[in-house]
Amino acid sequence: MRDVTRPLAMKLLIGLATLAAIAGSVAVGQTQAPYEVEGRKSGYMFMTPATRSLQDDEFQNPGMFIVEHGRYLWNRAEGPDGKSCASCHGDAEASMPGVAARYPVFDSARNGLVNLEMRINGERAAHMKAPPLIYESEDLLALTTYISMQSRGQPVNVAIDGPAQPFFEQGKTFYETRRGQLDLSCGQCHEDRGGMKLRGDVISQGQLNGFPIHRLSWRAMLSRHRIFAWCNTSVRSEPYELGSPEYLALELYVAWRGRGLSIEAPAVRR
């Protein structure tokens, strides 16, 4: 009997160890919230297995370099009072989870929307007396990515009611308006034709939960507004300024379209 039970116990042990290893690797993958909610699909769902694994592996994910720079900037004192982000907010891993999932938000002082990039610059001005970081600069992308990453796994959950409501409507109108020489609206591709092939690419739903992303074809990090500008340019339309009211409204609307998808920053896309 012993001869039979011992191998059984061994098998059980091996089985348990395997389970633990699988559980461990899921924990390392850290994105627990879903890639798909009620038909809303993260860009992750449109990527090849190779691109997905590049994102999943923190040692391979090319977006992690800028995260490290963001961590450095978070703690770097700037301005006449020698303050850093950390002077007020402490450890970002403790204070920032959930923040990126809520942005953009209505800001009563500006009587308009602010996104994460603009909030970073606003806080720098108000509390550090530090100069604004240029939109799409490495520094602003780094801080945005570092802060966004603290919300990984949390569901996108933007407020579209109350004072945000008119901006939401403005963004929806933008999204549905045909524009440029190709005369296409955002929605005609990303809403009506997500998943279909455009030449060699598959059209994604244009969700924002992965941003800032590392775009492999550009070998660069890019913000939500940068991809808006690129999309507009691609339909031969004149892009707006990054940080413009038009793109802020669009950002709110598009974030809402992806409500419930988990923050993946820094996501890796083709």
Give the Cα separation of 6 and 102 in Å (integer).
54
User: x/- binding map, residues 132-161, to other proteins, per CB under 8 A?
Assistant: ------------------------------
161 versus 238: smaller Cβ distance to other proteins: 238
168 versus 174: smaller Cβ distance to other proteins: 174
CB of 171 to other proteins, least distance (A): 16
48 binds other proteins (CB under 8 A): no
Count of residues binding other proteins (CB under 8 A)? 21
Give the Cα separation of 78 and 263 in Å (integer).
29
Count CA atoms within 13 Å of residue 216 on its CB side: 13
3-state secondary structure of 81: coil
Long-range contact pairs involving 132-137 (C-beta distance under 8 Å, separation at least 24): 135/223, 135/225, 135/242, 135/243, 136/222, 136/223, 136/225, 136/226, 136/242
126 binds other proteins (CB under 8 A): no
CB of 199 to other proteins, least distance (A): 5
Q: Which of residues 173-212 bind other proteins (CB under 8 A)?
A: 177-184, 188-189, 193, 196-200
Report the side by side order of strands in the sheet with 220-222.
220-222, 213-215, 267-269
What's the burial of 188, exposed, middle or buried (CB within 10 Å: 0-12/13-18/19+)?
Answer: middle
32 versus 173: smaller Cβ distance to other proteins: 173
List the catalytic residues. 231
User: x/- binding map, residues 231-270, to other proteins, per CB under 8 A?
Assistant: -xx--xxx--------------------------------
Instruction: Provide the binding-site residues for other proteins, judged by CB under 8 A.
Output: 177-184, 188-189, 193, 196-200, 232-233, 236-238
